[in-house]
A and B are shown apart, each in its own frame.
Chain A
Amino acid sequence: MLLFNQLQTYLYLALVLFAIGLYGVLARRNLIAVLISIELILNAASINFMAFNRFLAPHPAVGQVITLFIMAVAAAEAAIALSIIVAVYRKLKTVNIEEATELRG
């Protein structure tokens, strides 16, 4: 059985990508770095959809359609997040999440 013809390979790979992204979200303090980590997590989800689509699903077009939707939503999310980051930088002169504490009670 070849390595790239097994469902488990792709699932573990997506899991590694998810864990790396989760670490980035938890550990980084730069807002843009947090956004980059979120993109990694979304990609892990896409790999999972495509792997299930390739190995399990009854019709192979469905997983591809859903992956395309994930990409579109990720693009919208990135546009909004980046504009918020630029606005935050303009207001607070920092993109560090530990210094942007205006809402603290």
Chain B
Amino acid sequence: MNPLSSFFSPQAVASVAFVMVVGLTIVGALIAVAARNIFHNVLGLAASLLGVSGLFLYLNSPFVALMEILIYVGAICIAICFAIMLSEPLHLPRPPRNKTKLLGAMVGAGAAFVFMALLVKKTKWIPAVERSKDWSITTIGHYLLTNYALIFELVSLLLLVAMLGAIVTARGGRGKP
């Protein structure tokens, strides 16, 4: 095997693509929390969610990856854009950041990170003894309509209530002051 063909082997290509997906996820997340312009935050969130859907592809679940793009990038990010347009104008001067608060947040998040990283390192992850090989979307559909039918219906009720609640909360006072 010559070096060129080993460089383009499926494993190598998959590894490089994986590193790029991880980079997209983390850089997008950093933009989503660190940029000062709220619109850049939303774009960073969209990039990060695209990266997460790529991760779902690596985890053997193309259906969930597509749903991630459809629901998060397609619906939630767009809804956040609408909320930005309906709230504060972007050109107003913003109060300066509070350094102590930023430092405290960094320490808190860092402490949570270190604690849970130690937990991940320490735990022995044992796979189930007998693992099914059935990754088809048909099976997901069967599960949704048999074992998880009650939760499925509850989620649809939750979405209906959220929709009505959002309309009632956001509508009031177009005529009133």
Contacts and interface: CB of A to CB of B under 8 A. Distances in A.
A33 B18 CA distance: 28
Interface string A60-77: 111011011101111111
Contact of B88 (A59, A76, A89): A89
Given A12-B117, A57-B131, A78 B79 contact: yes
The interface centre, meaning the residue of A28, A61, A68 with most chain B CB atoms within 10 A of its CB, is A61
Contacts of B139: 61
B155 A73 contact: yes
A36 B45 contact: yes
Given A56-B127, A76-B162, A18 B170 contact: no
Interface residues of B, number: 86
Contact of B131 (A22, A23, A58, A82): A58
Interface of B: 11, 14-15, 18-19, 22, 25-26, 29-30, 32-33, 38, 41-42, 45, 48-49, 52, 55-56, 58-61, 63-64, 67-68, 71-72, 75-76, 79-80, 82-84, 86-88, 95, 101-102, 104-106, 108-110, 112-113, 116-117, 120, 125-135, 139-140, 142-144, 148, 151, 155, 158-159, 161-163, 165-167, 169-170, 172-173
6 contacts: A19-B112, A28-B33, A58-B129, A65-B144, A79-B163, A95-B88
